Structure 1
Amino acid sequence: MVEDNITRINLDGKEYILIGTAHVSKHSAEQVKEVIEAEMPDSVCVELDEQRYQTITEGAKWKEMDIIQVIKQKRASLLLMNLAISSFQNRMAKELGIKAGQEMIQGIESAKEVGANLVLADRNIQITFSRIWGNLGLRGKSMLLTQIITSIFSHDSISEEELEKMKEQDTINAMLNEFTESFPKLKKPLIDERDQYLAQKIKDAPGEKVVAVLGAAHVPGIKEEIKKEQNLAQLNAIPPKSKWPKIIGWALPIMIVALIVITFFANPNAGLDQSISWILWTGSLSALGTIIAMGHPLTILTAFVAAPFTALHPLLAAGWFAGLAQAYVRRPSVKDFETLSEDVFSVKGFWRNKVSRILLIVVLSNIGASFGTFIGGADVIKTFFENF
Structure 2
Amino acid sequence: MTEIVVTGMGAISSIGLTIAENLYSLKHEISGIKKAKHFKSHYAGSLVFGEIDQSDESLLEELALKKGHGFTRTTLIAMKAFREAVSHAQLSPEDIASTRTAFISSSTVGGMCYTDDLYHDANMQGSPSEYVKNYEGSDHALQIVRFYGMKGITDVVNTACSSSANAIAIGARLLETGKVDRVIAGGSDCLAKFTVNGFNSLRILSEEPCKPFDTHREGLSLGEAAAYVVLERKADVSDPGKIQAVFSGFGICNDAFHPSATSDDARGPRMAMELALKRANLSPENIQYINAHGTGTPNNDLTESFAFSKLFKNVPAYSSTKSYVGHTLAAAGVLEAIYSILSIQNQEVYPSLRVEEPIADFSFQPTLRYTPEVAITHVLSNSFGFGGNCTSLIFSACI
| Normalised-by-shorter TM-score class | under 0.3
TM-score if structure 2 supplies the norm length? 0.24
Greater percentage in strand:
2
Pick the structure with greater CA Rg. 1
TM-score if structure 1 supplies the norm length? 0.24
Greater percentage in helix:
1
